[in-house]
Amino acid sequence: MADAFSREELSDLKDVFVQHDADGDGTVNTAELLKTINALDELVTKDEVETVIQVFDTDNDGSLTSTSSLGS
């Protein structure tokens, strides 16, 4: 899973992604991330966004939360 990223890269991406909680509800979903990424012209694809969300989405609700973290 997530072969494209190292744990460090995933952690960095998550830290970036959680800063883009557009509606302020404490979670960041794919739609919010894609909107932000498109605005920033970041070189991140929808697949990559979904990968990061899947890795951190510990409760399987399709969103990242600021408290999500990688298991050790």
What is the SS3 assignment for 67?
A: coil
Among 3, 8, 23, 59, binds Ca ion (CB under 5 A): 23
Among 7, 25, 54, 58, binds Ca ion (CB under 5 A): 25
Distance of alpha carbon 41 from the chain centroid: 16
**How many Å is the Cα radius of gyration of the chain?**
11
21 binds Ca ion (CB under 5 A): yes
Neighbours of 65 (CB within 10 A): 18
57 binds Ca ion (CB under 5 A): no
59 binds Ca ion (CB under 5 A): no
The residue ranges that bind Ca ion (CB under 5 A) are 21, 23, 25, 27
